Structure 1
Amino acid sequence: MANDVLAPGNPLLADYCEGRRVVAFLSPTVDRLYGQQLRAYLGARLAPDSWSAVVLEGGEQRKTMASVEEICARAKLAGLDRRGVMLAVGGGVTCDLVGFAAAIYCRGVRYMKVNTTLVGQVDVGVGVKTGVNALGIKNMLGAYHPAHASLNDRAFLRTLSPRQIRCGLGEIAKMAIIKDAALFRVLEECPEVFQRPDPSSAWLTQAGLGRRGVEDYVIRTSMALMMEELCPNLREHDLARLADFGHTFGPVIETAGEYRIAHGESVAIDMALSSQLARVLGLIDAEDCERILSLLIALGLPVHDAGTCTPDLMNRALEDSWERRGRRLHLVVPEGIGSGVFVDDLDDIPAGALDEALRALDARAKAQSAPLVTVR
């Protein structure tokens, strides 16, 4: 966490570059907002002719091996050697692409990222996975390639659209639901955090947790929870991972919807469905299930999508996860606010349980005007 990362007087980013040749990659949007500032910083802090900046087309449709090859080609053209640095400045797609390219370029070069979205700061920026979509499956190809540095500056969040903020809140809610009841309560009380000023609630301040404001508490707590979950199992030798909450049905929802549903929105729909399924299975009571759904709706996130939340597609999502996770399901579901458990096998879900959960979710979305995904 840092302030004014791209200010010429701040040595942090340049110090991590350690005098190496740098190729910076950024999306057109980031280039429009911060490209001039980035180039001014690199020009002021790095040696002449030791850096270049490349604008990459973004979006999930461009998250392909062809884009990775383009990144490698641009790095070669810029003279990047095995001691060089690939610098990603942007959101999750940019960081995934550049990270994967860095993992395979010359069999691996140093990779750094400046995370400019809320999803990037609390999720992509914390983990070590990189990857692209391939063979009809989200993130089918990739590598574990830890960043040499991952820098978060909350000032970047001020230029995000409300939808991008909501997507980040989906990833934050994920960690709250399965690991931290206090964070869940803060999100309930401040559902518009990062969108408008929110004073810390009295109980949070009294507990000594909100001294630097609710935004700081939410982002730091979410990052800490993610690191706590990931670090003991960084390369996923154990495929039962609480951090996979929201990521069993979600990938199929995204691909089947041709990416009209953003990642954070698919995570929210998955969490809603997983919570309803947990209720059907008797793993969570109806009151806690309702609190989870109400929180997601209050955050402005969808809890259902009629076009993709069909029995056929959601059963396929379970089967895909079972196959990908070593023929064990490891479906993460809540068992209460701040606690999660695993449904480990397909046989643990009785016939009709998923259909019942889908019907309940459809009815819940219709009953209380939950946000629906209709446009990009």
Structure 2
Amino acid sequence: MSGQVLDRVDHPPTGVDEDPGGFDLRAPDGTRYRVDLTTEVLDPHNPLLAGHLAARRVVAFVSPTVDRLHGHRLRAYLEAHTGPGQWTLHVIRTGEHHKTLAAAERVCALAKADGLDRHGVMLAVGGGIVADVVGFAASIYARGVRYVKVNTTLVGQVDVGVGVKTGVNALQTKNMFGAYHPAHASLNDPAFLRTLPHREIRCGLAEIVKMAVILDGDLFRTLEEHPDAFRRPGGDGELETYVLRTSMRLMMEELCPNLQEHELARLVDFGHTFSPVVETAGGHRLEHGEAVAVDMALSAHLARLLGLADEETCARVVGLLRRIGLPVFDPGTCTPGLMTQALRASWQRRGRKLHLVVPTTIGKAAFVRELEDVPGDVLEAALRDLAADGERGDA
């Protein structure tokens, strides 16, 4: 080795880089992935998806709704870009009741029957549940195979589609089984959002409000001015592009340094302390985004009562959720008993620390670290105030 000069290897810096076509993430642990933004992803003349499939064996999975709306285009695309007999497509059931270990096992069984090997690709085209189930199946199939997701819902594009978590519900607990398994590619096409019912758009907006409250006052003010974003006639212009890209960037930047959640205190858990119980105890009567909205409203009232946020901040958070059309109170689950149960479940899940995220002002948030920092009388007062908000919303 004497006299030799060894070249130093420079690794790209960690963080999130944005370009016109999407976002690149490099985490401190070396994990790298990209989220693409494109138009007409299923047009045979768009090579983006085909490039990620790379002539591999493809087993595709779609929801019944996606199959009805886009299945013919997806089949035509796969026919145009893969060899004869190199792809199959299956329709899988969606809804939280079908987000189970049995569903992931069925995906694996279908893939095995179709001859998927370690070099093949599972392709998930749909919303967050399809991505979660297929992603988890890909993480355990033959100890891990590639998967590609094409995100067709707003929740999928700003939340599930930009992270690395996969999972299914089990043991009466949301996402009890799961894995950190980055997608080989995650593709977002805003054109899909035009086919969504307004309820699905509102659920996606709940996740966007979450990011605005904790990190970006400008985004929050934009939503206050345009609570009908993504639901306006012809609403796929500059406003929607700004909201979509900003939400994606904020989420990826917040996830990047703690991608596998070694640190259990996470700002992106705003709206995700009470919501799992609101969902499960309510028999999934509320969609995920609706339960998150109820959670954010309750957390805002707790912040006010604990002296961490002023009246105006609480009123703006709750007011925006109501203007979007999201629920801020659920009589069937927003009871002192169930919400205390939710606090204890989060405390246990987060390493016996509560880490409840609450807004301090618009664009900033803090943690309530200990379970005893949320006294029972304060929780009950917050629920009473929340019920009053819900009644005003019904009036």
Is 1:77 aligned with 2:77?
no
CA distance in 2, matches of 1:267, 1:364: 16
1:37-96 per-residue CA deviation (whole Å, 9 max, x = no partner) reads: 000000001111111101101111000011011000000011000011000000000000
Query: How much does 1:198 deviate?
Result: 7.9
- Which residue does 1:163 correspond to in 2? 199
Q: Secondary structure, in 3 states, of the residue corresponding to 1:248?
A: coil
Q: Which residue of 2 aligns with 1:347?
A: 372
Secondary structure at the residue paired with 1:176?
A: helix
Residue by residue over 1:330-369, the C-alpha shift from the partner in whole angstroms, topping out at 9 and shown as x without a partner, is: 0000000000100011011123110010000001111242
Q: 1:55 to 1:368 in 2, by over 3 A?
A: closer
C-alpha distance in structure 2 between counterparts of 1:151 and 1:23, whole Å: 17
Q: CA deviation at 1:19?
A: 1.5
Amino acid at match of 1:314: M
Q: Alignment RMSD, CA only?
A: 1.2
Aligned equivalent of 1:60: 96
CA distance in 2, matches of 1:167, 1:62: 19
Give the number of equivalent residue pairs.
359
Aligned to 1:113: 149
Q: Is the 8 A contact 1:198 1:214 kept in 2?
A: no
Contact 2:55 2:81 in 1 (8 A): no
Residue matched to 2:12: none
**Post-superposition shift, 1:199?**
8.3
Task: Give secondary structure in 1 for the equivalent of 2:41.
Answer: coil
Query: Do structure 1's residue 33 and structure 2's residue 79 form an aligned pair?
Result: no
- Aligned partners of 2:235 and 2:179: how far apart in 1? 41
Q: In the alignment, what sits opposite 2:331?
A: 306
Once the two structures are superposed, residues 217-242 of structure 1 have per-residue CA deviations (whole angstroms, 9 ceiling, x without a partner) of: 00000000000100110000000000
Identity within the alignment, %: 65
3-state secondary structure, aligned to 1:171: helix
Matched, 1:225 2:261: no
1:274 corresponding residue in structure 2 = 299
- Look up the SS of the partner of 1:340 in the other structure: strand
Alignment counterpart, residue 173 of structure 2, candidates 134, 137, 148: 137
- TM-score of the superposed pair, with normalisation by structure 1: 0.94
Tell me which of 125, 150, 160 is aligned to 1:124. 160
Residue 329 of structure 1 is matched in structure 2 by: 354
**How far has the Cα of 1:6 moved from its partner?**
0.2
Are the structure 2 counterparts of residues 351 and 259 from structure 1 closer, same or farther at C-alpha, using a change threshold of 3 Å? closer
Give secondary structure in 2 for the equivalent of 1:57: coil
Structure 1 CA distance, aligned partners of 2:235 and 2:100? 42
Which SS does the other structure have where 1:113 is aligned? strand
Alignment counterpart, residue 47 of structure 1, candidates 67, 75, 83: 83
Summarize deviations over 1:198-226 as a string: whole Å, max 9, x none.
889xxxxxxxxxxx610000000000000
Q: CA deviation at 1:197?
A: 4.3
Give the aligned partner of residue 26 of structure 2.
Answer: none
Distance 1:199 1:319 in 2: 42
Q: Which residue of 1 aligns with 2:260?
A: 235
Q: Deviations over 1:296-326 (max 9, x none)?
A: 0011100000000000000000000000000
Question: In 1, distance between residues paired with 2:375 and 2:279?
Answer: 26
Query: Which residue is equivalent to 1:290?
Result: 315
Residues 190 and 198 in structure 1, CA contact (< 8 A), matched pair in contact too? no
Secondary structure of 2:229's counterpart equals coil
Q: Is 32-41 or 361-370 further displaced after alignment?
A: 361-370
Provide structure 2 residue ranges, at least 5 long, that are not aligned to the other structure: 1-36
Helix, strand or coil for the counterpart of 1:267? helix
Query: In the alignment, what sits opposite 1:253?
Result: 278
Distance 1:82 1:199, change over 3 A: closer
Q: Which residue of 2 aligns with 1:146?
A: 182
CA distance, structure 2, for counterparts of residue 255 and residue 101 of structure 1: 23
Cα distance in 2 for partners of 1:254, 1:193 equals 25
Secondary structure of 1:218's counterpart equals helix
Tell me if 1:6 matches 2:6.
Answer: no
Q: Which runs of 4+ in 1 moved over 3 A?
A: 197-200
